[in-house]
Amino acid sequence: MYDSVIFDHDGVLTTLVDLSPLRDATWDAFAELGVSDPDPDHVEQVVIHVSPEDVRAAADPYDLDPETLFRVRDERQSAAQKRAIADGQKVPYDDFDALRRIDAPMGIVSSNQQATIDFVVDHLDAGDLFGTAYGREPSMTSLHRKKPEPYYLERAMADLGVESPLFVGDSDSDIAAAEAAGVDSAFIRRGHRADHTPTPDPTHEIAGLDDLLELDGVPVVGDAVSLSLPRIGLGTMGLDAADEAAAVTTALELGYRHVDTAQIYGNEAVVGDALAAADVPREDVTLATKVWADSLAPADVRRTTRESLDRLGVDYVDLLYVHRPIDTYDAEATLSAFDELVDDGLVRGVGVSNFAVAEVDEALDLLDAPLVAHQTEYHPLFQRPALLDHAAERGYGVVAYSPLSGGRVREVDEVVAVAERHDATPEAVSLAWLAAKGLCPIPKASSERHLRANLDAVSLELDAADVATIDSIESEVELFPQ
């Protein structure tokens, strides 16, 4: 998980200014230094993308001190940009407010003038957003320090006290600076970069700042809301032998991106080994586990969660559930401990499991972190439409365990009839039905054939009549009653 997000400024946070004011400011700098009619090529040489050699080449024909020329040029250009900002010609992009949802220290590292960056932060009243903001000092030394050198980026990291930031930029020099600093980068493809191929390759590519909220590893205020569940996951209850747990590795390599386990399953260590063995980045996987009913006192929540992380071999889990609201569960005390784990970065999102609607309401009222999901038994023979209505109303996801009715869907006439219409298996239809209703099913499977079939099933398109046929089943076979 990234411990901060640092941004370039021009073309990332605020729109680019037209070159005309910068060019005019550079002419003014020459005039201020007594050169009333400089060669236009010399002026153009120090408008943008300036190197020390450019400054010397522009200064020498007029016996100007290069350092003085550069300082005055920087002062005049900064003044021009401040006017453009104050006049509304250079404005924040429409998605700027997305930054207020990032729950991590933030900073700015720009190759623009320090005076310009300070003015921008003040003008946008964004001092509360950025813990540090670097531009260049008005000296030629800064030209040796600006991006693609990592100098200012590393200073910003030191100021923020961070080691693993994401650096967001719109230029090759931004990506190169991140690479030189040994940190990840995100190339933002604004309109002026529509056809650009960044070099070196960035870690991520985004269309706008809103996309940052969807990147795995970017902490977000109410991160649970932005933690979108894949359409299907892998249930692991009963996968405890090493050969069985290898199904987790196979599943991830087939394309599964959601793995569900629990402390009570006794298989977190083998699931963690299987996760480590898969050639899939950790941040691409939604990993969930559950705190069992005898460990829901606050101190036990904290202790057993750290033990789960150790067994899983990870620094955080994406989703931590209250497994059942029984035994040592105390809503206020237990959920407060879950909130602390989110604040500490050990857990990205909070879930509940096997709750009644009234208990979900209570959890929603008590939690500071938004509720990501309610995991519940849900299949054609055990339907909870009131819970789905409640989830839609209150904005949390529903994860369906035992989605195949413990293997009984093959015997359900309505499911079989829909399967025959689609030349599909009853199991595929059951999973497709759940996906069509917005649930995330987590079937268990150990063979590659079944893993593939389940993964493909959620792409099966059922029409409204198919869904209604299965909805109409009048049965209540609860496999795991409380």
| Residue whose C-alpha is closest to residue 173's, from 120, 114, 111 | 111
Long-range contacts of the stretch 466-469 (C-beta < 8 A, 24+)? 466/418, 466/421, 466/422, 466/429, 466/433, 467/433, 467/436, 467/437, 469/414, 469/417, 469/418
Query: How many other CB atoms are there within 10 angstroms of residue 123's CB atom?
Result: 15
Local structure of residue 235 (DSSP, 8 states) = E
Q: Which of 265, 316, 321, 396 is catalytic?
A: 265
Q: Which helix (H) or strand (E) holds 226?
A: helix 223-226
- To the query of whether residue 265 is one of the catalytic residues in this protein, the response is yes
The strand pairing partners of 133, in sequence order, are 108
| Residue whose C-alpha is closest to residue 373's, from 413, 400, 346, 404 | 400
* 3 state SS of 458: coil
Q: Where are the beta strands (DSSP E) in 177-311?
A: 184-188, 204-206, 234-235, 258-260, 286-291
Q: Which helix (H) or strand (E) holds 255?
A: none
Q: Residues, the chain, total?
A: 482
Decide if 422 contacts 429 (C-beta within 8 A): yes
Amino acid letter for position 100: R
Separation of alpha carbons 299 and 203, rounded Å: 38
**Is 12 exposed, middle or buried (CB count within 10 Å of its CB: 0-12, 13-18, 19+)?**
buried
Catalytic residues: 265
